[in-house]
A and B are shown apart, each in its own frame.
Chain A
Amino acid sequence: MSIHDDKPTILRELSHFDGGLVLDGHKDLSTGKPVQPMPAVKQYIVPLQQHIGAISEPLVKVGDRVLKGQMIGRPGDLVSAAVHSPVSGTVTAIEEHAVPHISGLPDLCIFIENDFKDEWVKREPLGDEYNNRSSHQLRNLIRDAGIVGLGGAAFPAAVKQTEMNVHTLILNGVECEPYITCDDMLMREQAEQVLAGADIIGHVIKAQECVIAIEDNKPEAIAAMQAAVERDGTGFFRVQAVPTIYPSGGEKQLIKILTGREVPKGRLPAELNVLVHNVATAHAIHRAVYHDEPLISRIATVTGQGIAQPQNIEVLVGTPVKDCVEFCGGYTPQADELIMGGPMMGFSLPSDDTPLVKASNCLLVMAKDEIHYQQQHMPCIRCGHCVEVCPARLLPQQLYWYASSKNNDRVQEFDLFDCIECGCCAYVCPSDIPLVQYYRAAKTVIRQQERERKASDLARQRHEAHQARLERQKREREERLRKKREMLKDKEKGGEKDSKKAAIAAAIARAQAKKAEARKAQAGATEDKTAETEQEQSQDNTEKPTNP
């Protein structure tokens, strides 16, 4: 693409982003032992929506036998992802079930009963052959393997890789949220596979270099990756330690740290000639290319004072949370809240009945004395602590002011939608205001209104078009009548003697015109109707929720 300048984008000296927090890591809790593969369980629950974009379309029916790695849901749209069966077994149900989503709403899931035969679909690993494949072919492979960003956002990886000729691939191994250690452990144990995956991505997007960014509180991971880079020896990779400041793992923040530049508002990182992928995503891509294995498992951290044996597990997507907890020794008596994700940006689950999904990097069970419960909050005293820590340079106290008074225009004027919901503001607020919750609520309301406004706009346009049509028909009708009258008048002028005859002829003509008009009107009305139904249908299509 011509917009890219070719100058190297990554600074040798690190930059920094505004705001941010130094947090207590609590990472040692779960890094004590190697990643433990979790044994298979009886039942798996595979949600059809585990990613950003359209929900997948189920490819199986209740009662079908499925094989391990078989695609059971295909991408529902361009921005979507496939889902696969984590085991061989039988589809026992396809119905709504609790899923780990912040909204707490249930979603469509495929239930699979494990037959413990571990029968795979036929696999044909590409291996090193990928070097001879086009970007397009590889993107399709990645898409069919159902690979999404594993850092938590779950954006379809193949869609992200449509950017071409990006100079630098940034591999995000920052993992800045407290408690979470799955990327750390992955880099420690499978550095080479991570590099191999990054190499594939680099091939797809035709990158010139790859920078692996790791927070400097993970010396083991840095050492392991460094060793792998040296063994690789191509000079394509470079490991870069970054300071431990939350949220340096945020895509925009990491780009600022490495390039010293900010992704322009409303644009993509490619604008700065970079593309960011998570280390676990790279690893998953390696599995897909070298083992023809779709994304059916991941490493997840199960941790917190509420878990008897905190550790990292390699777990199949769709495994119920309660089975994971059980494998890690169960809950401690102090267990108080079950959180999916980290303590800053995660969300709590109402029950452990939900499955683990592709995006689930962490299951955090917090004990009473480690979790902060929000008390009755004080009014905002405008102390500005939130302003100091906001990585997006927003004014959280103003956002709160307008969000709580439901002033939707003002809250947008103060850039509500640039809030990355990192929680830094709420973390420091001395008044203990649940700021992020206010922002999320305001965003939801505004998006909802936007949808409604669009719908009513469409209705209004339809109504106006209808009116215009009626107007036009009326005009045409009058025009025709006028012409007829003129014709008659001319005739009259031509044969004045025959005035009687002419009068009769005129009357007949009038009657005919009326009849014709009535016919026309009828035809017009039916025409209107079909047009309207068509429009309604097309509107129905656009109204289908694509992205909750």
Chain B
Amino acid sequence: MIFKRTPSPYIKQNISVQQMMFMVLYALVPGALASFYFFGWGVLFNLLVAITVCLASEAIILRLRGRDVRHSLSDGSALITACLLALALPSLAPWWLVAIASFFAIAVAKQLYGGLGFNPFNPAMVGYIVVMISFPLQMTLWTAPMGVDGGWPDFMTTFNWVFLGKLPYDTTIDSISMATPIDLLKTQLSQYHDVFETRNNPEFSALFGSLSGTGWQWVNLLYLAGGIWLVKKQVVDWRIPVAFLASLLFIANLFAVMDYSTNSSALFHAFSGGTMLAAFFIATDPITACSTPRGRWIYGAGIGALVYIIRSWGGYPDGIAFAVVLMNMAAPLIDYYTRPKVYGKQDH
């Protein structure tokens, strides 16, 4: 009898890239729902635009490169980029801003470098940085969270603003948007109001909520929950989020202890802005992270430190995107110097 020949091993653990990607997407769901609940229709529109543009750019470029479009699209990686971008961008971002970010993320940051597995920088974060630098004003357009100042605008108002740039005659964009807690603190501090004063100002106390901001704290908590599930399922490496959060908490606490009037508490940092989204879903993108075990500790800790530095002293509201891309750049070098010693080289 004649048999076919294939290489060993002949048994295999059953988990594919596609399954891993979709598990990441499932883990995003609770946080995304909370985001929608607290920040309204804009979140949904962001998702719609980002998914459409990301998938379309991916498909077009794959076709231009003569690749198997179906096979590559179905891996779910473009979908993740789209969702991360949509959830990171402000809820009142105009549609074209989301579209530009999405196009850059997929076409430039991912496909120009050779597609999945070859991109050195996190595509979603590159897209984010491009629009942050080009359109700083639009990047601050968050709605007031549910429960603060009448919350987010209704469907039609949001739709008209996002897609047509129009507002009802008696409203201005300022009246439907509101600074995020991180932003607000920064401006207040620059006007010599300290943290304590700002947080207890009756005008702002509703926004700050009990921990780190109404809405924000819940969104972050739910991303944390999804992230823990991913770690448990071994879809993402636990070292990166742990190192990230530990370093951010440690540094934030250090400064808060030194001077609590001008530095927010460590918990505020952990649960505000995009911290948890970044810790479990963005920094853990394996393609652009370090791949050695020790390297991952350094990589995560580096992002945590950079986030704190940029948040506290940088010119941009949240430092996640820059922190991640900066560490992406350092990753190959870190990997090189953190190679594990092979068997037999260790204790001799």
Residues of B within 8 A of A (CB): 1-13, 15-17, 19-20, 71, 75, 115-118, 234, 237, 286-287, 289, 291-293, 296, 335, 339-348
Contact of A395 among B237, B291, B346 (CB under 8 A): B291
Please indicate which of the listed interface residues B12, B20, B115, B347 has the most CB atoms of chain A within 10 Å of its own CB.
B12
Please indicate which of the listed interface residues A371, A373, A379 has the most CB atoms of chain B within 10 Å of its own CB.
A379
Q: Is A393 in contact with B343, judged by CB distance below 8 angstroms?
A: yes
What residue in chain B is nearest A260 (Cβ atoms)? B347
Q: Is A344 in contact with B8, judged by CB distance below 8 angstroms?
A: yes
13 A-B pairs besides A387-B291, A394-B342, A427-B12 with CB distance below 8 A are: A252-B344, A345-B8, A346-B10, A349-B3, A373-B6, A374-B6, A380-B117, A382-B291, A392-B342, A394-B340, A398-B291, A426-B8, A430-B20
Which residues of the partner chain B approach A398 to less than 8 Å between Cβ atoms? 291, 335
What residue in chain A is nearest B346 (Cβ atoms)? A262
Interface pick from A77-85, A215-223, A335-343, A521-529:
A335-343
A432 and B6 CA atoms in complex are apart in Å by: 13
Please indicate which of the listed interface residues A262, A322, A414 has the most CB atoms of chain B within 10 Å of its own CB.
A262
Q: Is B237 in contact with A384, judged by CB distance below 8 angstroms?
A: yes
Q: Is A337 in contact with B343, judged by CB distance below 8 angstroms?
A: no
A36 → chain B closest CB, angstroms: 22
What residue in chain B is nearest A383 (Cβ atoms)? B286
A145 and B293 CA atoms in complex are apart in Å by: 48
A434 and B7 CA atoms in complex are apart in Å by: 7
Q: Is A387 in contact with B10, judged by CB distance below 8 angstroms?
A: no
Contact of A418 among B11, B13, B342 (CB under 8 A): B342
B5 → chain A closest CB, angstroms: 5
A382 and B284 CA atoms in complex are apart in Å by: 11
Please indicate which of the listed interface residues A263, A380, A382 has the most CB atoms of chain B within 10 Å of its own CB.
A382
Which residues of the partner chain B approach A263 to less than 8 Å between Cβ atoms? 343-344
A376 within 8 Å of B (CB atoms): yes
Q: Is B5 in contact with A348, judged by CB distance below 8 angstroms?
A: yes
Q: Name 18 A/B residue pairs within 8 A (Cβ), A-sorted.
A: A262-B343, A264-B348, A265-B344, A339-B8, A339-B10, A343-B9, A379-B116, A383-B237, A387-B292, A388-B293, A393-B341, A394-B342, A395-B291, A398-B335, A418-B342, A430-B17, A432-B16, A437-B7
A423 within 8 Å of B (CB atoms): yes
Residues of A within 8 A of B (CB): 17-18, 23-24, 104, 178, 252, 256, 261-267, 322, 331, 336-339, 341, 343-352, 364, 366, 370-374, 376, 378-385, 387-388, 391-395, 397-398, 414-415, 418, 423, 426-428, 430-432, 434, 436-437
A395 and B296 CA atoms in complex are apart in Å by: 14
Contact of A384 among B3, B17, B19, B291 (CB under 8 A): B291
Which residues of the partner chain B approach A434 to less than 8 Å between Cβ atoms? 7
A535 → chain B closest CB, angstroms: 38
A397 and B293 CA atoms in complex are apart in Å by: 13
Please indicate which of the listed interface residues B7, B293, B345 has the most CB atoms of chain A within 10 Å of its own CB.
B7
Q: How many A-B residue pairs have CB under 8 A?
A: 167
Which residues of the partner chain A approach B291 to less than 8 Å between Cβ atoms? 382-384, 387, 395, 397-398
Q: Is A252 in contact with B343, judged by CB distance below 8 angstroms?
A: yes
Contact of B12 among A339, A364, A394, A432 (CB under 8 A): A432
Which residues of the partner chain A approach B6 to less than 8 Å between Cβ atoms? 337, 348, 373-374
Which residues of the partner chain B approach A364 to less than 8 Å between Cβ atoms? 10
B154 → chain A closest CB, angstroms: 42
A380 and B77 CA atoms in complex are apart in Å by: 13
B338 → chain A closest CB, angstroms: 10
What residue in chain B is nearest A364 (Cβ atoms)? B10
Q: Is A382 in contact with B286, judged by CB distance below 8 angstroms?
A: yes
Which residues of the partner chain B approach A387 to less than 8 Å between Cβ atoms? 291-293, 340
B124 → chain A closest CB, angstroms: 15
Please indicate which of the listed interface residues B2, B10, B17 has the most CB atoms of chain A within 10 Å of its own CB.
B10
Given A384-B286, A415-B342, A418-B342, do A178 and B11 touch, yes or no (CB 8 Å)?
yes
Q: Is B75 in contact with A378, judged by CB distance below 8 angstroms?
A: yes
Which residues of the partner chain B approach A104 to less than 8 Å between Cβ atoms? 5
Given A381-B117, A394-B342, A395-B339, do A431 and B7 touch, yes or no (CB 8 Å)?
no
What residue in chain B is nearest A431 (Cβ atoms)? B17
A331 and B75 CA atoms in complex are apart in Å by: 38
A373 and B7 CA atoms in complex are apart in Å by: 9
Q: Is A350 in contact with B5, judged by CB distance below 8 angstroms?
A: yes
Which residues of the partner chain A approach B11 to less than 8 Å between Cβ atoms? 23-24, 178, 343-344, 370-372, 427
Q: Is B8 in contact with A347, judged by CB distance below 8 angstroms?
A: yes
Q: Is A391 in contact with B343, judged by CB distance below 8 angstroms?
A: yes
Q: Is A351 in contact with B2, judged by CB distance below 8 angstroms?
A: yes
Which residues of the partner chain B approach A266 to less than 8 Å between Cβ atoms? 344
A178 and B293 CA atoms in complex are apart in Å by: 28
A385 → chain B closest CB, angstroms: 8
Q: Is A382 in contact with B287, judged by CB distance below 8 angstroms?
A: yes
What residue in chain B is nearest A104 (Cβ atoms)? B5
What residue in chain B is nearest A252 (Cβ atoms)? B343
Q: Is B9 in contact with A265, judged by CB distance below 8 angstroms?
A: no
Q: Is A265 in contact with B10, judged by CB distance below 8 angstroms?
A: no
A379 and B118 CA atoms in complex are apart in Å by: 8
Q: Is A374 in contact with B7, judged by CB distance below 8 angstroms?
A: yes
A424 → chain B closest CB, angstroms: 8
A343 and B7 CA atoms in complex are apart in Å by: 10
Which residues of the partner chain B approach A388 to less than 8 Å between Cβ atoms? 293
Which residues of the partner chain A approach B286 to less than 8 Å between Cβ atoms? 381-384
Q: Is A378 in contact with B10, judged by CB distance below 8 angstroms?
A: no
Which residues of the partner chain A approach B5 to less than 8 Å between Cβ atoms? 104, 337, 348-350
A344 and B11 CA atoms in complex are apart in Å by: 7
A346 and B291 CA atoms in complex are apart in Å by: 29
Which residues of the partner chain B approach A343 to less than 8 Å between Cβ atoms? 8-11
B282 → chain A closest CB, angstroms: 15
Q: Is B3 in contact with A372, judged by CB distance below 8 angstroms?
A: no
Please indicate which of the listed interface residues B116, B340, B344 has the most CB atoms of chain A within 10 Å of its own CB.
B344
What residue in chain B is nearest A425 (Cβ atoms)? B9
A322 and B340 CA atoms in complex are apart in Å by: 46
Q: Is A426 in contact with B343, judged by CB distance below 8 angstroms?
A: no
A485 → chain B closest CB, angstroms: 66
B25 → chain A closest CB, angstroms: 15
Given A349-B3, A374-B6, A397-B291, do A418 and B117 touch, yes or no (CB 8 Å)?
no
Which residues of the partner chain B approach A331 to less than 8 Å between Cβ atoms? 1
B78 → chain A closest CB, angstroms: 13
What residue in chain A is nearest B75 (Cβ atoms)? A378
B128 → chain A closest CB, angstroms: 21
A333 → chain B closest CB, angstroms: 12
Q: Is B17 in contact with A348, judged by CB distance below 8 angstroms?
A: no
Which residues of the partner chain A approach B115 to less than 8 Å between Cβ atoms? 379
